[in-house]
Amino acid sequence: MITKHKEDKVQMLPQVSIKWRFRTAIALFLVVLALFNSSCTKDFEEINTNPQGFTTANDGALFNSLVQSLVLTGNEQFYINNDILYKQSQLAALATDAWGTYSIGTSELWKNYYEKLPVVRELEKRFSAYPSTAGYNNMRAMVKIILAYKTFKMTDLFGDIPFSEAGYGFQNIEMLHPKYDLQRDIYLNQLESLKDAADLINDTATLVEPFKTFISFDKLFTGDLLLWKKFANSLRLRYAMRMADKEPAIAGEIVNDIITNKLPVLDGFGLAGPVLESACIWPASAGFKNTSLNWSFREHNGLRMGSNLWHQLSNGDDPAGNDIIDPRAYIFFETNGDNQWVAFPQVPPAGTPSAGGVPYGEHRDDMGNFTIKGSNCNYSFFNYFLIRDEDFMPIILMTGAEVHFLKAEAYIRGIGVGQNLDEGDNEYMNGVNASVSWWLYVANHSRLPLSGAKFTDLLPLPSSLSASTVLNRFGSWNAANDQERLAFLYTQMWIDLFRQPWEAYALCRRTNLLPREGDAINHFRLPYPTTEVEYNTANWSEATARQGGSDFSVRMWWNSR
């Protein structure tokens, strides 16, 4: 049973707009970080917002805007995920030349984060004046967790970023040019903040005002405080493991605290079967349609099933699919225009036929047109339901399957706990079972927005495939040594992260045991957006020099070995 996908139809409330007037272009640009869905003139001379500022928005409305900001934007998906991260992680193949306009995507990421950071600072300011009651502490904790998730994602893409001084410009004009914090400092600060948040949450507290109203804005866990606590601890585990090679002692303490003390974390699979807990935004339940999803694939039209992932999902290249061992192959991808399974080469040799086709077009959502994939559709592509379902396809932040894989790695490597291969194998198998079960759940509940067609009506899933057929090949008993055991683990974690390419990209950067075709990964970060060069020049310059540059080849702090 998935406890997160509640079928409530309460809509995300509209964000409150705020109006500020500034006289210089630089001040206007930086203070725009404090705005919600503001619109502005070409020269940043006027922002359409409320002159009363944050005082007109209640705490819940501000929190609502933070949850909304977790939804991936079209430009992020198009220019970052589809054009860069899928290729670099090799979860898919880029069948056409990259658009090369990543700056649109980096600017979008920067905007999404720094427009919401002032909202966090305003809530923090308000919370500092509130009494330390159970309800207020729960509010404090929920904001801390959202901030940590967003901050870790940003620093893992860019490295050092403005943080400790950022978001205060609307409160103090002297802080309009925030310094860049070291990634290490950000990691340690936010890991501690997540621990504080988990400790603050009281899931048995009486539901009284103002928390009763505040929690009605929770479109992530619909008021389930235990899941908030689990999410906080699960994120602690994720990022402690990410820095384990760089800071083994600190990472070990965190992992030990979570595992030894049996702290609540997202659960994927248990003795009784699937639990399938996850941190996701389900569009229909949250009251919106995720229209940017299909746009990003339809207009990009460059991603196809790559040979690397295909060879983990199938034991051979039989175009009829008789060699497929993993049911997730049928969930992640579809056959080509000739109804055959054909992977695009991860490293295409000269003369490789073009991808062709229009498999992501909206026409396929019209009754009777589903099989129309366009002329010369030569290769398998992303399953249409994954990229067209704007109501029931989740926006994934973290799943219980990932938590099992992280625990398995800790036991196998002896990070924070004594090395225990039996416990590692148990967590690993729970992870595989959870991942396969979770993706089957998603497929079984997916439908197209126009025709209403169900996934399993148009693309039936073979009953012969299951987690068992995956483990027949990737079970730890097939590993020749501990290194191969870890390679199996990382491979399954990588597959599970199929719709979180930013997380798969992080996994690829921190381990060299993942399957890979061609050269080892040499892409480690996104360059800072040009707006930082123009408006925060001194701090940008200092941070860039400190890290040895900001081009793709400069490694993160945690994988600088």
Q: Residue 498, Cβ neighbours under 10 Å: how many? A: 22
C-alpha 518/C-alpha 130 separation (Å) is 56
Say what the pTM is: 0.90
Q: Residue 117, Cβ neighbours under 10 Å: how many? A: 24
The full set of domain ranges for the chain reads 20-221+527-556, 292-388
Phi and psi dihedrals of 45, rounded to 5? -90, -15
- Do the Cβ atoms of 381 and 336 come closer than 8 Å? yes
Q: Which two three-digit tokens encode residue 317?
A: 């290249």
Start-to-end CA span in the chain (Å) = 42
Answer whether the bond into residue 501 is a cis peptide, omega within 30°: no
Q: Residue 369, Cβ neighbours under 10 Å: how many? A: 13
C-alpha 11/C-alpha 144 separation (Å) is 23
C-alpha 74/C-alpha 33 separation (Å) is 19
- Do the Cβ atoms of 120 and 143 come closer than 8 Å? yes
Handedness of CA 132, 138, 139, 141 (dihedral sign): positive
Architecture of the domain made up of 20-221+527-556: Alpha Horseshoe (1.25)
Each residue's pLDDT tens digit in the chain (561 positions)? 333 333 333 334 333 333 332 333 333 333 333 333 332 322 222 223 333 333 446 999 999 999 999 999 999 999 999 999 999 999 999 998 777 789 999 999 999 999 999 999 999 999 999 999 999 999 999 999 999 999 999 999 999 999 999 999 888 888 889 999 999 999 999 999 999 999 999 999 889 999 999 999 999 999 999 999 999 999 999 999 999 999 999 999 999 999 999 999 999 999 889 999 999 999 999 999 999 999 999 999 999 999 999 999 999 999 999 999 999 999 999 999 999 999 999 999 999 999 999 999 999 999 899 999 999 999 999 999 999 999 999 999 999 999 999 999 999 999 999 999 999 999 999 999 999 999 999 999 999 999 999 999 999 999 999 999 999 999 999 999 999 999 999 999 999 999 999 999 999 999 999 999 999 999 999 999 999 999 999 999 999 999 999 899 999 999 975
Angle CA 76–81–82, to nearest 5: 110
The string of DSSP letters for 400-451 reads HHHHHHHHHHHHHHTSSS---HHHHHHHHHHHHHHHHHHHHHHHHT-B-TTT
